[in-house]
Structures are given as C-alpha cells and as structure tokens.
Amino acid sequence: MYNYMKEKISIVIVYFSGLDDLHKCVNSICTNMHGFPYYIYIINNNPKQKIDNYFSNFERTKVITNNKNLGYSKATNIGANCSSGDYILVLNPDIIILNNAIQKMKKFLDGNKEVGVVFPKLLNKDGNLQYSCRTFPSFWTVLLRRSFLGKIPVLMKIVNKHLMKDFKHDEIKEVDWALGACFLVRKKCLENKIIFDERYFLYFEDVDFCLHLWKRGWKVVYYPDAEVIHNYKRESANKIFNFKTLEHIKSYIKFCLKNKQYNK
C-alpha cells in the first residue's frame, strides 16, 4: 500500500462541479507522475454531490467532503493542511497536465531557492496561449474587465496592459501575479501551511497570495517550459449583475482594505 507520508508533492484540487473535468485532471496527473512520489487531496465543496466512489480506484487520492461550500480559499487551506510534501501543487479541476509539467516546475524551484511559487504556461483546449500573467489590479482594471467598457478601443489599452498582452509568454519572467488555476508553491515559504487568506470566498485570493510572497522576500515566477491545458469558461463580462461579478467586486474591496498600499 502506498505510504502517502513519503510524498514529495502534495496536490490540492478544490471541487464544486464538473465531475468529468475533475476525472480528466486526476487521470492526467497519474499519467504524468508515474513513479514519482505524490498524493492528491480533492476537497469537495459540494456535499450534495458524492464523488468518493469515482476515485476509489486511485491509490494516491483522498476525497475530503465539506459539510457546505466553505469557499475556495478555505477549502484550499484544508487540503494544504493535510499535505506532507515539500511542495504543494494547487490545481483547478479543469486543468490537464502535459509533458511532465509538475516535475519541471519542481526542478525549477529546486534550482532557484529565492522563488516561492512558480506558475506554468496555460493553454486553451485548442492549444492556443491563454494569457495568465497579470500586473497588480487597480480600480480601473477591475471595472473595465467586468463590464462592456473594457471593449472600448481607447480603454482596451488599459486592460491589455494589465493582462500583459505585450509579453509573449514564451520566456521565464518574474511577475506581479498569475492566474491561480495551477501553481507549485514551496511549503517553507508558507505560514502554518496557509496558502490563501480565508477572508476571500472567491476571487483575489491568488492576487493577495502573490503580493504577500513578494512582501516577504519571495519571488513569483512564470515558467513557460511547463505547460498545462486550462479548460476555462469565462462568463460574459457584459453580465454585470450576477453572483460571480458581485463576489469579484466584494473580494476587490477586501483586497483594497487589507492592502491600502501595495508594491513589490
């Protein structure tokens, strides 16, 4: 029987919906990590959906079902608290691992002790680049990205600068932050195995996480040699009044109140 206490990389996946995506994600991990010590912690934030049986045949996988939706940040921290690896890989369930991407990120961290977290290159399902690096947000970037205003040509320049579309995403680069769909973090740079501030139910937890790594002297790096598919489905920015948009605004306000002045 596999002794998960020997894991080198602890993998945390927070699940709420999309069982087919989750199954593909876990399969891709197992395929790419064959012979490498790892363990997967799936934190189920949807108690109405029992998923334990779907992963009973995966020896290195444990499902932890919360009694309610605790939010993304808290669920991620539950998985991190269970971990015993030197590194923690945080994944969205719509990620597909390609070409030993996890081992490549670990090797990069092993050789760059000043780096706290590394983000891979995200690809769309069709293989095209997904812009994942970001500058720290401002009121205007949040407003423009969550409304039709961001499609006005003169204002689109502000959005594109925030999305770093002038950066080809084909070279290693220190960045303010990157999309938290997939990243590998060095456990020693965490405080008490806490990854995200649990005041964020959804959104801005990854921005806040990267900002505080920078503040504590750790580098945040984008590493394009590691590639994964992110089957991301973004809701229309024209739908201003919906749950996710309101949650995004709430999280931005929390971020601003917590970090009244932020610089690397």
In a domain, 227, yes or no: yes
In a domain, 264, yes or no: no
Amino acid identity for residue 217 in this structure:
G
The predicted structure's pLDDT at residue 132: 95
The predicted structure's pLDDT at residue 252: 84
The predicted structure's pLDDT at residue 237: 47
For 219, the domain range is 4-258
The predicted structure's pLDDT at residue 264: 42
Chain mean position to CA 39: 17
- Number of domains observed in the structure of the chain: 1
pLDDT averaged over 10-residue windows placed end to end, the chain, 264 residues = 68 96 96 90 96 88 96 97 94 97 97 98 95 88 68 72 86 96 96 92 94 96 98 59 74 84 50
- In whole angstroms, give the CA distance from residue 44 to residue 248: 22
Provide DSSP, the chain: ---GGG-SEEEEEEESS-HHHHHHHHHHHHHHTTTS-EEEEEEE--TTS--GGGGTT-TTEEEEE-SS---HHHHHHHHHHH--SSEEEEE-TTEEE-TTHHHHHHHHHHH-TTEEEEEEEEE-TTS-EE--EEPPP-HHHHHHHTSGGGGSHHHHHHHHHHTTTTS-S-S-EE-SEE-TTEEEEEGGGSBTTB-S-TT-SSSSHHHHHHHHHHHTT-EEEEEEEEEEEE---PPPTT--SSHHHHHHHHHHHHHHHH-SS---
The predicted structure's pLDDT at residue 126: 93
Amino acid identity for residue 96 in this structure:
I
In a domain, 263, yes or no: no
Q: Indicate which CATH number applies to the domain containing 207.
A: 3.90.550.10
Taking Cα atoms as reference points, which of 73, 19, 50 lies closest to residue 205?
73
The predicted structure's pLDDT at residue 106: 97
